[in-house]
Structure 1
């Protein structure tokens, strides 16, 4: 297997572990990701779609399914009523925090078979990749056009 193959299979290992944790909370991985993204503060739907790499339509459908479980809610922005904000309900916030904590605790298990030095190297490299990746949403002060 070449390097690209190894990265592909690493992503599968990570996704499987994440899905396992999500299932324990009766959430799909997409629902869990959404809850984790809004657990601390409301987010603009457009920014959320960009951050999560989803179309606005796909995000809207995900939000609809998650809102039916009373875990998230939509509201118009106080600054611009055309902007839709998404936030966790009190129940969604508690669930989002619990999922996030469990993922943070258990995802490192994927490196459990590495020796201590390799685990530290893996943590360092994973941190560097995330820190140098553009995971931020577009600037939220951009004007929204109708």
Structure 2
């Protein structure tokens, strides 16, 4: 199996474990990711769309579904009323924190069959990949108007 194939299957393992955790909270992976992204502070919808690699329309639909569960809310920015901010409701914040904690605790289980030295190497390499990656939005942070 080629290196690219192994990375593909690693992403499948991570996504499968993440989906299992999300299902335990009765959330889709997209809803859980959204909650985790806004659990600490409100974010601009345009920023979220770009950061999560979604179209503004897809994000808006996701927000609608999540808002119906009273987990997130939209509001206009005080500085620019065209800018829509998304924040977690009190219930959404608690749920987002719980999901984030559970993912942080259980996602490393994908490396449980490695010996301790390999587990440390895996953690070191994963950390280096994330630390040297540009996780900022790939498009400009333009306001989204609704």
Shorter-chain TM band: over 0.9
TM-score, normalised via structure 2 length: 0.94
The alignment's C-alpha RMSD in Å is 1.7
Query: Which position in structure 2 is the counterpart of 1:85?
Result: 85
Rounded Cα–Cα distance in structure 1 between residues aligned with 2:49 and 2:82: 16
CA contact under 8 A between 1:47 and 1:138: conserved in structure 2?
no
Q: Which runs of 5+ in 1 are unaligned?
A: none
Deviation string 1:20-66 (CA, Å, 9 cap, x unpaired) is 00000000000000000000000000000010000000000000000
More contact order relative to length (CA 8 Å, sep ≥ 6): 2
Query: Which position in structure 1 is the counterpart of 2:31?
Result: 31
TM-score, normalised via structure 1 length: 0.94
Matches within 5 A, 1:112-131: 112-131=112-131
Query: Which position in structure 2 is the counterpart of 1:19?
Result: 19
Rounded Cα–Cα distance in structure 2 between residues aligned with 1:40 and 1:84: 17
How far 1:136 moved relative to its partner? Answer: 2.0
Query: What SS is found at the alignment partner of 1:22?
Result: helix
Q: Which runs of 5+ in 2 are unaligned?
A: none
